[in-house]
């Protein structure tokens, strides 16, 4: 069920704020600093108990206050509340302490699209690796556990590398474990990315059939023992992990060209919009849960044609849309398009 009401107390610049939402489109308009991103951040925080723009929950507590409070109510009267101070955080669902993230995900799941997502095309591989991880998490309940196992192995290996114990039998065991878990995560990543690609292509073919989009999975793979041996040697020198499924990445081609170096800024933005929309579409949800698409000031550089394409796509997808934009000018543009 869609989000119907949000109450904020001492959150960012808001002392006390109550907002109501429509089930489909919601435009959050206002001048710079009005609190638009803060509203999206509060919705995201309700879903994940973490922010998309700050690792530190103190940043979200209104200056001079001790704690913030968020209460989100869905149309079916489910209520998620979060109270957080510097020391602690309490998440409740319908008045009872939440037991897991899964429980919240069974009520609503949000995806954020923001300016810095352009890094999926223009940035470093780290952004794409994170995207892959998030994609897997949104598509499968098992992903979190798998990545937790992988992380544990990576920490053990790194410690041994730092202790210069790369020749020890212990290191050999962790390397074997790493290869084993990596095979299973890699397989899941490939399937998740294929699903995303199929959806992205469907979206594109409906609106701009002449455009070809390709997403190529890049596996951290060793074709022979010699290649693996030289990477292990590098790991020894650098004292850090260089192998594992967390190193897998992907490349985006647009009109058969590398989107990073060939596509225009507007084209890159449309591609990122499509990738994130496909991510949202591929997200698994329990019956009754609602997907929420949070879009924070992303359309500003698009011309009216591309902006119109994005709006048409948004009209088709089954999600509640919360779109933050800075100017009144865009409000007029949107009303013309809807
Ligand atoms: N902890 C805090 N306490 C009080 N004010 C804060 C806190 N954190 C941020 N702010 C202020 O809240 C205001 C709202 O920020 P927000 O990023 O939500 O604005 P916005 O409407 O998205 O602006 P823009 O159009 O520039 O993106 C800003 O002026 C910011 O300085
Ligand atoms: Mg903002």
What are the pLDDT digits (tens) for 237-285?
Answer: 999 999 999 999 999 988 888 888 888 888 899 999 999 999 999 988 7
Confidence at 331, pLDDT banded by 50, 70, 90: low
Token pair belonging to 155:
């920490």
Nearest to 322 by CA among 111, 76, 15: 111
Nearest to 40 by CA among 55, 58, 49, 52: 52
Ligand 1 atom 31: residue of nearest CA: 33
Atom of ligand 1 nearest to the CA of 60: 1
Within 10 Å of residue 313's Cβ, how many Cβ atoms? 18
- Rounded average pLDDT over 313-324: 94
Percent of residues, the chain, with pLDDT higher than 70 = 95
Q: For 8-17, 33-42, 73-82, 259-268, which range has the lowest pLDDT when averaged over its residues?
A: 259-268
Nearest Cα neighbor of 41 from 15, 20, 61, 22 is 61
For the chain, helix, strand, coil in percent to 5 are 50, 25, 30
Q: Which residue has the higher pLDDT, 106 or 79?
A: 79
What pLDDT is attached to residue 112? 97
Distance from the alpha carbon of residue 59 to the mean position of ligand 2, in angstroms: 15
The pLDDT assigned to 100 comes to 83
Distance CA 107, CA 105 (A): 5
As given in the structure block, the two tokens for residue 187 are: 């397989």
**Pocket around ligand 1 at a 6 A CB cut-off:** 12-13, 30, 32-38, 59, 61-63, 297, 326
CA distance linking residue 276 with residue 278, whole number of Å? 5
d(CA 241, CA 253): 29
Q: How far is the CA of 25 from the centre of ligand 1 (A)?
A: 23
Residue 24 pLDDT > 70, yes or no?
A: yes
Residues sharing a CB contact under 8 Å with residue 294, sequence separation 6 or more, in sequence order: 40, 43, 44, 110, 111, 112, 113, 322, 324
Residue located via tokens 């020894």: 236
The pLDDT of 93-117, averaged and rounded, is 90
pLDDT of residue 77: 86
First to last CA, the chain: 23
Residue 286: its pLDDT value, please? 74
Instruction: Specify the length of the chain in residues.
Output: 338
User: Separation of 9 CA from ligand 1 center, angstroms?
Assistant: 14
Report, as an integer, the average pLDDT of 43-47: 95
The CA 273 to ligand 1 mean position distance, Å, reads: 24
User: Residue 305's pLDDT is what?
Assistant: 86
Residue 175 has pLDDT above 90, yes or no: yes
pLDDT (mean) for 83-91: 95
Ligand 1: residue of 17, 30, 37, 61 to mutate (most ligand atoms within 8 A of CB) is 37
Class of domain 120-286: mainly alpha
Is pLDDT at 211 greater than 80 in this prediction? no
Per-residue confidence (pLDDT) for residue 337, from 0 to 100:
53
Q: Tell me the percentage of the chain whose pLDDT exceeds 90.
A: 68
Cα–Cα distance measured from residue 143 to residue 88, given in angstroms and rounded to the nearest whole number: 27
Q: Which residue owns the Cα nearest ligand 1 atom 9? A: 12
Ligand nearest to the CA of 13: 1
Mean pLDDT, range 317-321, rounded to an integer? 94
């Amino acid at each position: 069920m869609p989000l119907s009401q949000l109450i904020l107390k001492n959150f960012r610049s808001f002392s006390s704020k109550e907002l109501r939402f429509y089930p489909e489109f919601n435009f959050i308009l206002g001048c710079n600093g009005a609190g638009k991103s803060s509203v999206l951040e509060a919705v995201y925080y309700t879903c994940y108990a973490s922010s998309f723009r700050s690792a530190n929950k103190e940043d979200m507590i209104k200056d001079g206050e001790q704690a913030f409070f968020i209460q989100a109510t869905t149309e079916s009267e489910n209520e998620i509340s979060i109270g957080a101070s510097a020391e602690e955080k309490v998440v409740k669902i319908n008045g009872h302490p939440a037991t897991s993230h899964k429980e919240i995900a069974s009520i609503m799941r949000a995806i954020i699209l923001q300016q810095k997502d352009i890094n999926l095309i223009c940035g470093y591989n780290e952004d794409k690796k994170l995207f892959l991880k998030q994609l897997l998490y949104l598509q499968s309940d098992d992903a979190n556990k798998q990545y937790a196992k992988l992380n544990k192995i990576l920490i053990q290996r790194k410690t041994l590398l730092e202790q210069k114990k790369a020749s020890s039998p212990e290191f050999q065991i962790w390397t074997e474990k790493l290869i084993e878990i990596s095979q299973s995560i890699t397989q899941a990543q490939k399937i998740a990315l294929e699903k995303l690609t199929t959806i992205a292509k469907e979206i594109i073919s409906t609106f701009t059939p002449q455009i070809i989009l390709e997403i190529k999975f890049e596996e951290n793979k060793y074709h022979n023992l010699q290649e693996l041996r030289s990477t292990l040697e590098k790991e020894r020198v650098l004292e850090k992990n260089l192998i594992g499924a967390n190193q897998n990445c992907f490349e985006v081609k647009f009109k058969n060209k590398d989107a990073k170096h060939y596509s225009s800024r507007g084209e890159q933005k449309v591609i990122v919009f499509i990738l994130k929309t496909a991510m949202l579409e591929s997200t698994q949800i329990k019956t009754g849960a609602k997907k929420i698409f949070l879009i924070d000031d992303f359309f500003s550089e698009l011309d009216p044609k591309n902006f119109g394409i994005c709006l048409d796509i948004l009209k088709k997808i089954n999600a509640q849309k919360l779109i933050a934009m800075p100017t009144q000018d865009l409000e007029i543009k949107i009303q013309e398009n809807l």
